[in-house]
Amino acid sequence: MTFGCKCLPSVTSNMARGHQKFQSQQKNAKKQAEIKKSKGHDQKAAAKAALVFTCTVCRTQMPDPKTFKQHFESKHPKSPMPPELADVEA
């Protein structure tokens, strides 16, 4: 009777599979880095797009009408209020 270890073939196949998994992860990491690099500074573009209101007096940009009205009331109290800010609650 011969007692052979039948676990060795599976161990070698797991090692090969582990190596393949490692290679796949490295390839995916490189691909993700290239995608991220190609997008550039997306955060800056998004921040600039969010500034949709521009003060008519000092040309400062604000993200929403509430902030715009607060800015206008504090920085330009003697100037007439723009009509688009008349019904906005601060």
Q: What is the pLDDT of residues 8-21, one digit of tens each?
A: 554 454 566 888 99
Helix (H) or strand (E) holding 40: none
What residue type is assigned to position 60 of the chain?
Answer: T
Mean pLDDT (the chain, rounded): 81
Cα 28 to its chain centre, rounded Å, is: 20
Tell me the per-residue pLDDT of 29-42, one tens digit each, with 9 for 90 and over.
Answer: 999 988 877 766 66
For residue 61, list its beta bridge partners: 54
- Please give the pLDDT value at position 35: 83
Whether the CB-CB separation of 57 and 48 falls below 8 Å is answered with: no
What whole-number distance in Å separates Cα of residue 61 and Cα of residue 73? 15
pTM of structure: 0.49
- The DSSP output letter for 5 is -
Q: Is 25 left (phi over 0), alpha (psi -120 to 50) or beta?
A: alpha
